[in-house]
Amino acid sequence: MQTTLTIHCVGAARIQACKEQFLVNGREIVHFPNTTFIATNNATATVYESHGRIEMTFPETSYGNCSQQYYKTQYTILKTEKTEEALPNLSLKPEGQVYWYHDVYVEPAALVTSIPCSSLKG
């Protein structure tokens, strides 16, 4: 299912700008991946796909102050050595190696949901 919250962000500056638009008015977002795998690999990049849930905390609403969504996201990581067998550039040093961020699925398609955060369950 494709949702209206699907976003495509290309390049380091655009990825940062895309994420910052969700961090307004005190909102915090934490990703809890439960599955991550290589979706595709070629001589210039490796695409990782991650499935999991996102917990969002924000000022108090009628649902409380923490709700969650489920997601599937792809990250394209560029390679330094241009061969299919080469590892992607996973250096912690910012080098623009995360080229593309693509939320391919977000459910429910709302910034505040009625699903309480799993981390708050006792």
Q: Taking the model in full, what pTM does it have? A: 0.78
23-41 pLDDT, tens digit per residue, is 877 788 899 999 999 999 9
Q: Please say if the pLDDT value at position 1 is more than 60.
A: no
70-120 pLDDT, tens digit per residue, is 999 999 999 999 999 999 988 888 788 888 888 888 899 887 888 999 987
| CB of 55 closer than 8 Å to CB of 29 | yes
Number of neighbouring beta carbons within 10 Å of residue 92: 5
Residue located via tokens 């992607």 = 88
Q: Determine the Cα–Cα distance for residues 83 and 43; give it in Å rounded to an integer.
A: 4
DSSP of 23-74 = S-TT-EEEEEEEEEEEEEE-SSEEEEEEEEEEEEEEEEETTEEEEEEEEEEE
What pLDDT is recorded for position 64? 63
What pLDDT is recorded for position 61? 60
Question: In which band, very low, low, confident or very high, does the pLDDT at 4 lie, cut at 50, 70 and 90?
Answer: very low
